[in-house]
Amino acid sequence: MDLLLLAIGAIFVNNILLAQYLGNCPFCGVSKKLSTSVGMGLAVIFVATLASIFTWFAYHYILKPYNMEFIRTLAFILIIAALVQFVEIFLKKQSKTLFNALGIYLPLITTNCAVMGITLLNIKYEFNFIEVIVFSAASAAGFTIAIILFAGLRERLIIAPVPKAMQGTAIALVTAGIMSMAFLGFTGMVK
């Protein structure tokens, strides 16, 4: 039950994009078409969950016993970069269909703040192993839901008569603000 609450909280109440502001660069960059945003979202779920597991083990079994917490940032980004590289090679060899679907989004994920942010939040909230898996998968799912909804809105925005000065990124940010207002409605649902 607690795990379910944790998952719902991570997807809706503390949505990583709209309430914690992480991963906004891909949110604005690759949300122009629905198909690309689906690919990006799935790639983030996959990498964020794996990265959380690896960084959690690295933090609790390597960095902490040797009192090297200060090097956390460096260690985490290296783990994420290596993992992304490895996943790319593995998918290329093993699953052509999955590689074609996620391929071009994988390199972008290294510098996606959502992935790095989730791994840091896992440490900050002092989760145990099961909670780490649930929280990271749910947060990434929240990212995917938000980016897919936003891409749907942006496809409609292209044909909307927007004032000239607000076209493009400006109206996209305002739209994101209105979406974020809708997600604010979930506040208080889960503590």
- Give how far the C-alpha of residue 60 lies from the chain's centroid of Cα atoms, to the nearest Å: 23
Q: Supply the minimum distance, in Å, between the C-beta of residue 143 and other proteins.
A: 12
Interface with other proteins (CB under 8 A), residue total 50
Residues between 100 and 159 with contacts to other proteins, criterion CB under 8 A: 107, 110-113, 116-117, 120-121, 124
Q: Which of 42, 77, 104, 157 binds other proteins (CB under 8 A)?
A: 77
Are 9 and 190 a contacting pair, CB within 8 Å?
yes
For residue 177, the Cα-to-chain-centroid distance in whole angstroms is 18
Task: Give 1 or 80: the residue with its C-beta nearer to other proteins.
Answer: 80
Q: Which of 45, 51, 18 is nearest to 144 (CA)?
A: 45
Contact pick of 4, 62, 130, 166 for other proteins (by CB under 8 A):
166
What is the nearest approach in angstroms of other proteins to the Cβ of residue 75?
A: 9
Instruction: For 184, list phi and psi in degrees, rounded to 5.
Output: -65, -25
Residue 165 binds other proteins, judged by CB under 8 A: yes
Min. distance of Cβ 97 from other proteins in angstroms?
A: 26
3-state helix, strand, coil in the chain (%, to 5): 75, 0, 25
Q: Of 49, 50, 60, 57, nearest to 7 (Cα)? A: 49
Using alpha carbons, select from 127, 144, 135, 122 the residue that is nearest to residue 190: 135
Residues 6+ apart with CB under 8 A from 91: 98, 99, 102, 103, 106
Least distance between other proteins and beta carbon 171 (Å): 7
- Nearer to other proteins (CB atom), residue 4 or residue 166: 166
**Shortest distance (Å) from residue 105 CB to other proteins:** 15
Q: Which residues contact other proteins (rule: CB under 8 A)?
A: 18-25, 27-29, 70-74, 76-78, 81, 85, 107, 110-113, 116-117, 120-121, 124, 163-174, 176-178, 180-181, 183-184
